[in-house]
């Protein structure tokens, strides 16, 4: 039976009405699997391949009879903006049914939320943080709301797998099951996912065989790509030629221009608009990042989705996921994305029109970015992507969930609490004694309180401070910020850690401003329009690089392979970088220490975690590390007998504690709740996330190390 014939009559009618000529491969494969089995499903296919419809066409067919009256589907998104974007898309799929669709996040009015709580039905679109708010604030209605839920659809599931937010979400879904009549089936959607064995365990560790992985064949669209090299000019600023090239490329196209920081987005937007205005075309570039006011971002998204003239958006990862900004002709990436998954996700934003190609233009502005961009692009060409690994030993999230559970139950015995944690699909592997240690610590510090009569745990005084705070529902760290206003109009935010003075000129939301008043008590900055400015320096976390990227960089440097998509300047720069490796006949399983009279440079060419672990091992062996950089190059003193030291490292049985002794405070693992858990558990988390002793041992076994004097 064809996929179409498996759908309900109402959904078939909708398909006919939308004049679809055929289903995409992922839809053809997903429809029978969802309708004819009871399995959880992971749908993996490229951007714009129709994954949303692949999930919802069969789901709606299965639930349409009951969904008019009760809630049957919970759709979970990592972003409020993605919920808003997908609302109309999913609503259009329901047009031949009476299935209602509801949104629930911080921007939805209380009246709409109250109406849904009174009469939950159809589809609920929600973020993990809003699910948490339901557990805290709507405890008495949870059974009424979730009782009949049959499907959990997780959009962009890859964005949850490796961080604390994914642990939080999976814990909440596990808790939700205590209120549903049956365990809901999970359907995860992603364009960039690997390590399916881990994903299956994340979705349903009890029944791995009941998780189906459906991968669509690669898109038949051609990917046109190029890498151009523009060295930075004076004062480390991007050369004008770079902006002129971007302007020429985007003059007649709708483009999505990705930068690696919010400050760079602001700088690029102003420079590109200056070029456009000089040509008499007016401002044609919009900035988009998390510090720009939500209304401004929504204006940009709406304008881009509706415009037919060539306008472009300059963005951070805020537009990496599937927020609809209309069809994009070309994706531009300025400097390396650091990860293959990010580049793959971004390039998928172009080529959504029928019969159009995907177009990707890469720019690099220094040698490190050039070689890393090339390595990442080559791994994209090889169809490799970083494997999911999970968020290890999540004691910090257990802390937050214990407070949430105590608030939900309004009192719970110690045995019941431990049982709930151990039965949770995210925490079942954690040690019972460590959980008890955490609870004892929370009691000692008044995050919990023991009521002696019923012998129940409730939220303590210090716990109340956290639970009642507006930041409790999210588990990721956020920087304190100033609101930036022009009169009463909110423009965006600036990080509080920035060094700001009244009278400074800055760029924000793609415009130039002078800071008139800084009001730290009210967390506000007031500005007026200016004629010049500089982009603010925002805080951001470092990106961990997978060892495969380091290995690919060395492979490129050691070989003679040519890359037809790299321009002449880039090719010449690569040849310059290759010259010392070729002249010394360096092989791909060698790592070189370049020695001069003033020091040594150890080029590790491996992953960030292995490099960091190696640094701590070197310190513990008495080596004074001068510095290390993002590509894993370690600066050593000139008198270090590094080959001998590395042999000693390989022969030693290492204990994580002795590495922690040689770890500087800024290098210690930190998360939102890591400072409120027992120190021993915090260091266990650091060991799990930041130390890879076995990885270093394998690295030392698999490679030869050679000192070359220059």
Structure tokens at 627: 């510095």
H-run or E-run covering 569: helix 568-583
pLDDT digits 0-9 by tens, 21-66: 899 999 999 999 999 999 999 999 877 788 999 999 999 999 999 9
Is residue 502 over pLDDT 90? no
Residue 542: CB atoms within 10 Å: 8
pLDDT (mean) for 116-139? 95
- Give the pLDDT score at 569: 96
Percentage of the chain beyond pLDDT 90 is 75
pLDDT digits 0-9 by tens, 249-290: 999 999 999 999 999 999 999 999 999 999 998 889 999 998
pLDDT tier at 417 (50, 70, 90 boundaries)? Answer: very high
pLDDT tier at 621 (50, 70, 90 boundaries)? Answer: very high
- Give the pLDDT score at 235: 57
Instruction: Flag the least confident range among 2-16, 64-78, 232-246.
Output: 232-246
pLDDT tier at 236 (50, 70, 90 boundaries)? Answer: low
Query: Would you kindly state where each structural domain of the chain is located, as residue ranges?
Result: 3-215, 223-381, 395-467, 481-529, 589-709
Percentage of the chain beyond pLDDT 70 is 97
pLDDT digits 0-9 by tens, 357-413: 889 999 999 999 999 999 999 999 999 999 999 999 999 999 999 999 999 999 999
Distance, in Å, from the CA atom of 525 to the CA atom of 536, rounded to the nearest integer, reads: 13
Distance, in Å, from the CA atom of 296 to the CA atom of 366, rounded to the nearest integer, reads: 32
pLDDT tier at 522 (50, 70, 90 boundaries)? Answer: confident
Question: Using CA of residue 491, residue 496, residue 500, residue 501, what is the dihedral sign?
Answer: positive
Residue indicated by tokens 């494997």 = 387
Please check whether the domain covering 395-467 is classified as CATH 1.10.10.10: yes
Average pLDDT score over the chain: 92
- Give the pLDDT score at 536: 75
Is residue 497 over pLDDT 70? no
- Give the pLDDT score at 501: 83
Shared fold status for 3-215 and 223-381:
yes
| Contact present, 138 and 117 (Cβ < 8 Å) | yes
Superfamily of domain 3-215: P-loop containing nucleotide triphosphate hydrolases (3.40.50.300)
- Give the pLDDT score at 354: 63
pLDDT (mean) for 612-630? 93
Q: Give one word for 540, left, alpha or beta, with left for phi > 0 and alpha for psi -120 to 50.
A: beta
Q: Which of 213-227, 462-476, 504-518 ranks highest by mean pLDDT?
A: 462-476
- Give the pLDDT score at 283: 87
User: Residue 146 in 3-state DSSP?
Assistant: helix
Distance, in Å, from the CA atom of 680 to the CA atom of 682, rounded to the nearest integer, reads: 5
Distance, in Å, from the CA atom of 282 to the CA atom of 249, rounded to the nearest integer, reads: 17
Distance, in Å, from the CA atom of 674 to the CA atom of 636, rounded to the nearest integer, reads: 32
User: Residue 390 in 3-state DSSP?
Assistant: coil
Distance, in Å, from the CA atom of 155 to the CA atom of 582, rounded to the nearest integer, reads: 47
Structure tokens at 15: 């398909």
pLDDT digits 0-9 by tens, 572-616: 999 999 999 999 999 999 999 999 999 999 999 999 999 999 999
Residue 40: CB atoms within 10 Å: 22
Is residue 477 over pLDDT 90? no
Tell me, which fold does domain 223-381 have in CATH?
Rossmann fold (3.40.50)
């Amino acid at each position: 039976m064809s996929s179409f014939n498996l759908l309900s009559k109402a959904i078939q009618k909708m398909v006919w009405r939308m004049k679809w000529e055929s289903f995409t491969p992922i839809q053809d494969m997903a429809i029978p699997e969802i309708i004819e089995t009871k399995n959880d499903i992971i749908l993996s296919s490229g951007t714009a391949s129709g994954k949303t419809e692949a999930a919802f066409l069969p789901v709606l067919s299965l639930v349409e009879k009951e969904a008019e009256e009760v809630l049957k589907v919970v759709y979970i998104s990592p972003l409020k903006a993605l919920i808003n974007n997908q609302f109309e898309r999913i609503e259009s799929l329901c047009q031949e049914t009476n299935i209602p669709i509801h949104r629930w996040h911080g921007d939805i009015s209380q009246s709409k939320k109250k109406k849904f709580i009174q009469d939950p039905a159809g589809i609920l679109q929600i973020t993990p943080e809003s699910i948490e708010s339901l557990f805290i604030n709507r405890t008495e209605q949870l059974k009424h709301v979730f009782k009949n839920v049959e499907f959990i659809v997780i959009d962009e599931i890859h964005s949850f797998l490796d961080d604390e937010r994914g642990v939080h979400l999976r814990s909440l879904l596990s808790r939700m099951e205590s209120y549903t009549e049956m365990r809901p089936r999970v359907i995860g959607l992603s364009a960039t996912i690997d390590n399916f064995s881990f994903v299956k365990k994340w979705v349903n560790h009890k029944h791995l065989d009941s998780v189906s992985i459906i991968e669509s064949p690669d898109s038949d669209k051609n990917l046109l790509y190029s890498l151009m090299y523009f060295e930075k000019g004076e004062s480390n600023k991007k050369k004008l030629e770079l902006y002129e090239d971007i302007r020429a490329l985007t003059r007649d196209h709708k483009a999505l221009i990705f930068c690696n920081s919010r400050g760079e987005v602001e700088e690029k937007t102003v420079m590109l608009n200056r070029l456009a205005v000089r040509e008499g075309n007016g401002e044609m570039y919009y900035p988009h990042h998390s510090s720009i006011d939500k209304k401004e971002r929504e204006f940009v998204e709406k304008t881009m989705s509706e415009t037919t003239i060539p306008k472009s958006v300059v963005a951070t990862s805020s537009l990496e996921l599937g927020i609809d900004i209309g069809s994009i002709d070309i994706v531009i990436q300025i400097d390396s994305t650091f990860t293959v998954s990010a580049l793959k996700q971004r390039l998928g934003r172009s080529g959504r029109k029928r019969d159009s190609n995907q177009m990707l233009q890469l720019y690099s502005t220094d040698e490190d970015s050039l070689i890393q961009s090339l390595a990442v692009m080559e791994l994209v060409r090889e169809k490799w992507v970083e494997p999911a690994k999970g968020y290890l030993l999540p004691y910090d999230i257990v802390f937050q969930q214990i407070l949430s559970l105590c608030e939900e139950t309004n009192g719970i015995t110690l045995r019941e609490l431990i049982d709930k944690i151990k039965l949770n699909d995210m925490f079942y592997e954690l040690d019972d004694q460590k959980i008890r240690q955490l609870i004892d610590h929370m009691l000692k510090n008044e995050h919990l309180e023991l009521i002696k009569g019923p012998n129940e745990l409730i939220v303590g005084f210090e716990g109340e401070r956290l639970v009642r705070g507006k930041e409790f529902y999210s588990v990721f760290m956020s920087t304190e910020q100033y609101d930036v206003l022009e009169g009463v109009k909110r423009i965006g935010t600036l990080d509080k850690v920035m060094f700001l003075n009244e009278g400074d000129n800055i760029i924000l939301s793609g415009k130039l401003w002078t800071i008139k008043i800084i009001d730290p008590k009210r967390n506000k900055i007031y500005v007026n329009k200016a004629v010049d400015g500089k982009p603010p320096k925002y805080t951001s976390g470092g990106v961990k690089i997978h060892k495969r990227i380091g290995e690919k960089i060395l492979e490129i440097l050691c070989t003679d392979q040519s890359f037809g998509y790299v321009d002449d300047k880039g090719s010449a720069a690569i040849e310059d970088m290759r010259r010392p490796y070729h002249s010394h006949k360096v092989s791909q399983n060698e790592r070189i220490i370049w020695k001069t009279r003033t020091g040594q440079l150890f080029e590790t060419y491996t992953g960030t975690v292995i490099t960091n672990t190696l640094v701590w091992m070197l310190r513990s062996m008495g080596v004074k590390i001068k510095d290390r950089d993002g590509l894993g190059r370690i600066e050593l003193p000139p008198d270090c007998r590094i080959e001998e030291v590395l042999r000693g490292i390989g022969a030693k049985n290492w204990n994580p504690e002795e590495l922690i002794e040689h770890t500087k405070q800024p290098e210690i693992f930190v998360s939102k709740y890591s400072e409120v858990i027992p120190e021993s558990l915090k260091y266990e988390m650091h060991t799990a996330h930041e130390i890879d002793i076995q990885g270093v041992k394998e690295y030392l076994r698999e490679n030869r190390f050679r000192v070359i004097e220059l």
